[in-house]
Chains A and B, each alone.
Chain A
Amino acid sequence: MTEAPEPLKPLKTWSHLAANRRRPSEYEIVSTNLHYSTDNPDAPWELDPNLHMQKWYRKYRNESTLKHEDWNAFRDPHAQVYRTYNLLQDGQEQHVKSLLDQFSDRGHDQLLDAGWFDVLLKLYTPSRYAFHALQMGSAYVAQMAPSSTITNCATFQTGDCLRWLSHTAYRTRELSMASPATGFGEKERQIWENDPVWQGFRELLEKTLVAWDWGEAFAALNLVAKPAVEEALLEQLGKSARANDDTLLGLITQAQMQDAKRHRDWAAALVKMALTVDGNKAVLKGHIDKYMPLAQKAVEAYASALPGLDNAAEEALAGVRTFHNALDLA
């Protein structure tokens, strides 16, 4: 019998982090290398290797055209963990709650112009469908991402999209009370499905939702569809609202943009990491080129209908391009 090896010595942290010289942060301790399904590329799941879900993950995650040999090295630039996410968003929600409370006390909705109600029904309250599509798309990226640090960013993003949807739902009810005849809370689905102002976004989002390759799903959602929605439905709609004395909507969209900025930060960090690998630039550019024409059509149809703004569509598209330019994809 050979001599037994020396017992392993205790470590100051997880063995997978122990090689780092730095003491790991709380973020690293609780966020890194958590997906066991990436350990065996041939069989992500501990079942028959030919099961449908094995094939799905092999094809759309492991064999994605977006490649990196160590996605686990990705770090969220905000180093957000569950605990801090709730601290941040509870604070943000207190802010929105106090806005809703104060503006309601002041009779804000009673002072709105009658014509503005029609604008809101057409261009604002149907946004719950768009936000929900972003929520669903974020959940797809979360379940397909090849590392837990990416998954977590997409998970918090899913929560944020539900947050935006919730604001819209809340305001929809308030508006229906202020103007019962307009059709708030009743006509949104019909408008989302039929009004030409929404069909571009509907097409963009439906097609984004069926991008199964995780890299394509990420790019379509986080680099194109989401920024396009944000520039049009948060930035430009907010601007139009302020121009039409709907101060409350302007403030809510500003609060939501805080989330959007965080999402763009992690997306940009992921792109930066991806660009260290040959071939990924062309892959990402390809995805952007595929979805941008749809985004352009969507933004033009929607933003040109916003009252009180001259160049809303151009500005919204410029906002998306500014984001793209910072990604160094040219």
Chain B
Amino acid sequence: MTLLKREDWYDLTRATNWTPKYVSEDELFPEEMSGARGIPMEKWETYDEPYKVTYPEYVSTQREKDAGAYSVKAALERSRFLDNADPGWISTMQAHYGAIALAEYAASTAEARMCRFSKAPGNRNMATFGMLDEVRHGQAQLYFPHSYTRRNRQWDWAHKALHTNEWGAIAARHFFDDMMMTRDAIGVSIMLTFAFETGFTNMQFLGLAADAAEVGDHTFASLISSIQTDESRHAQQGGPALKILIENGKKKDAQQMVDVAFWRAWKLFSVLTGPIMDYYTPLEGRKLSFKEFMLEWIVAQFERQILDLGLDRPWYWDEFMRALDETHHGMHLGVWYWRPTVWWNPSAGVTPEERDWLEEKYPGWNDTWGQCWDVIIDNLKNGKPELTGPETLPVVCNMSNIPIVGTPGNGWNVKDYQLEHEGRLYHFGSEPDRWCFQVDPERYKGHLNFIDRFLAGHVQPPDLMGGLKYMGLAPGEMGDDAHNYEWMSKYAKAAS
């Protein structure tokens, strides 16, 4: 065997910048698409991706990874896991696939933005693998749920969700379009790969995989943990770009991109991943609480990385740490209450045993969130289920596009953070949400959230049924309690 080692020839694959002659450099790399921020081409040529992979290594590794994930699926198909799975876990998968599959596919376009427009040659090659990776993630996360479409119509939403105006889909698109679809190449490398993928995909793909393994869903666990091996590679595109920005006096710009992306990712996870981990996953399958996963994956690791790179903690860090105890409980309560407006069946997750767990993980839960659930439980117990569903609309944040929540009960701190901009009144769920708007109002000012659309007459008839129609939800798709309220029997027994 006389083959060269990777390091013998790798650098030549990324010695690909040239000085354009027949078009200008600004034409070849328009600033709005490239985002070089005045840093000259030669500086971008110093970009050094920490994780190096060549084309032959890539196709070989990826072939093996797919063989692994798809063969686990094939082998376990006969185990009929889904027939016996807890309905809360099924909801977890449905929420996950609907919010994630097409968004991951869209990330391939964001990678393509870097591949075409980044002035850093190493970035362009790594983004080529990133483009391919994200096609993988989109395709696998469609192939796997597709085999369940015969079970009920909610599985259709693995493909359908992001094509609709369902409120959660609007929120997911607003986030992903802001982070990755409408940014220049360097913006994508920092906001998508560094701020989002470095921290948050660990939560979704490793945290959730740990829960999946605990509940016995080895197909899902092997798929999403395999996906994370790609994420952890292509997430490393942001670090070297950050380094170049900081070295060239653009730290403020870099810091702002990180701060906006991080906060926005947190808010999306508070409505998607928080309820999944702390309420939908059956109690015996909960490896860690959502907050504990966040502390492990986000606070410990991500915080260290930003400091190592020479950035500061986001200015709202204290508020973020405080919100870890709070936001997702409010989101969960809202999602369960407005359950017809989602494409999965939210699991209430508030049996006496589960409440004990919540109280242990989040001291004070019973005195705050628990008080709201007490009212719901009383209404169900007294045969008044109609009082446990929505009659009005929530106030929705103009940044996160999800409801504005706070702590209820004895910890009451619910607040609408308002801003008047060019004659329009905007509502935000927190100071950082409002700040994201203020630093770049042109990105957001003309967007209408679900409530804005309702008030503007886009939703007809202007009632719940009209709203569901606007969101693309019909009976058979719209959510209801995951366990068909059977969990109430534990309260009925307690009362008798």
Chain A interface (Cβ < 8 Å from any Cβ of B): 4-16, 26, 29-31, 33-37, 39, 45-54, 56, 81-83, 85-87, 89-90, 93, 96-97, 100-101, 104-105, 128-129, 132, 135-137, 139-140, 142-143, 148, 151-152, 155-156, 158-159, 162-163, 165-166, 168-170, 172-174, 185, 188-189, 192-193, 199, 202-203, 206-207, 209-210
Contact = CB atoms under 8 A, between A and B. Distances in A.
Interface string B147-162: 0011111011001101
B75 interface: no
Nearest to A158: B128
A166 B54 contact: yes
Contacts of A207: 22-23
A46 to B, nearest CB: 4
B13 A155 contact: no
A16 B161 CA distance: 12
A55 B125 CA distance: 27
Contact of B116 (A87, A136, A165, A188): A136
Given A82-B66, A206-B21, A207-B22, A166 B56 contact: yes
A7 B475 CA distance: 4
Contact of B475 (A4, A93, A135): A4
Contacts of A11: 149-150, 153, 156
Interface of B: 1-4, 8-10, 12-13, 15-16, 18-23, 27-28, 32-33, 54-56, 59-60, 62-63, 66, 70, 102, 105-106, 108-109, 112-113, 115-116, 121, 124-125, 127-129, 131-132, 135-136, 138-140, 142-143, 146, 149-153, 155-156, 159-160, 162-163, 170, 173-174, 177-178, 181-183, 442-447, 474-477
6 contacts: A10-B151, A85-B132, A132-B124, A139-B131, A159-B55, A206-B28
B9 A169 contact: yes
A82 B54 CA distance: 17
Contact of A203 (B4, B22, B59, B443): B22
Given A29-B143, A39-B163, A135 B128 contact: yes
A37 B181 contact: yes
A29 B66 CA distance: 17
B18 A12 contact: no
B16 A128 contact: yes
B471 to A, nearest CB: 14
A47 B9 contact: no
B177 to A, nearest CB: 4
A57 to B, nearest CB: 9
Contacts of B443: 47-48, 51
Given A48-B444, A50-B446, A140-B116, A12 B23 contact: no
A173 B9 contact: yes
Nearest to B12: A169
Given A4-B475, A11-B156, A52-B32, A46 B174 contact: yes
Given A16-B159, A48-B442, A135-B128, A210 B28 contact: yes
B259 to A, nearest CB: 18
A8 B59 contact: no
Mostly helix, strand, loop or mixed at chain A's interface?
helix
A206 B23 contact: yes
Nearest to A137: B116
Nearest to B173: A46
B153 A7 contact: yes
B475 A8 contact: yes
B1 A128 contact: no
A128 B159 contact: no
A8 B474 contact: yes
B83 to A, nearest CB: 15
B113 A166 contact: no
A212 to B, nearest CB: 9
A228 B458 CA distance: 51
B4 A166 contact: no
Contacts of B183: 53
Nearest to A38: B163
Nearest to B128: A162
B447 A47 contact: yes
Most buried by A among B4, B12, B155, B475: B12
A53 to B, nearest CB: 4
Contacts of A26: 143
A31 B447 contact: no
B474 A5 contact: yes
